[in-house]
Structure 1
Amino acid sequence: MIVDKIALILAIVGGLNWGSIGLFGFDFVAALCGGPASVISRIVYGLVGLAAIWCISLLFRDNRVERHAS
């Protein structure tokens, strides 16, 4: 599902951003979007948060593909 992939990409971006903050004290999103309080940064942070919530559902889904013998 395309929404799953978008959510995973956003969650990865968020994780990498938090990793760079923790390791280097550098916030890529803030640097690219005009500071941590800018509207664009807040939108990106919000989308990453929503993506993380969506990714929780991936843990509980049964994604097994049933193959029928022909």
Structure 2
Amino acid sequence: MKTLDYILLTLVVIGAVNWGLIGFLRFDLVRVLFGDMSILSRIIYAAVGISGLYAISYFGRIRSAGEY
């Protein structure tokens, strides 16, 4: 489970960096690397989105980790 957490957290960070680039520089790194809405770029966007939804569970784990 810990390995999955690290993989998904890495995808969330990649998504955050990409959104930062879009917001500050109007530069979409995923689009530049993988094409404008190509199947690969759509898979990456979907994986980042699913990772973000999974990351919501971190809040519950942080709270329960503090309750020894």
The two structures have a TM-score, normalised by structure 2, of 0.87
Root mean square deviation, CA, Å? 1.2
* Larger deviation, residues 5-14 vs 54-63: 54-63
Q: Distance in 2 between matches of 1:25 and 1:43?
A: 21
Partner of 2:16: 15
Structure 1's unaligned 5+ residue stretches are: none
- Note the C-alpha offset of 1:10: 0.2
Structure 2's unaligned 5+ residue stretches are: none
The percentage of aligned residue pairs carrying the same residue is 39
Q: Which has the larger radius of gyration?
A: 1
Structure 1 letter corresponding to 2:50? L
Structure 2 letter corresponding to 1:46? A
Structure 1 or 2: more helix by fraction: 2
Residue by residue over 1:9-56, the C-alpha shift from the partner in whole angstroms, topping out at 9 and shown as x without a partner, is 000000000000000000000100012x11000000000000001100
Q: How many pairs does the alignment contain? A: 64
Instruction: Write out the 4+ residue segments of structure 1 that deviate beyond 4 Å after TM superposition.
Output: none
Task: Please show how residues 1-70 of structure 1 align to structure 2 within 5 Å.
Answer: 1-35=2-36, 37-61=37-61, 62-63=64-65
Q: Distance in 2 between matches of 1:18 and 1:43?
A: 16
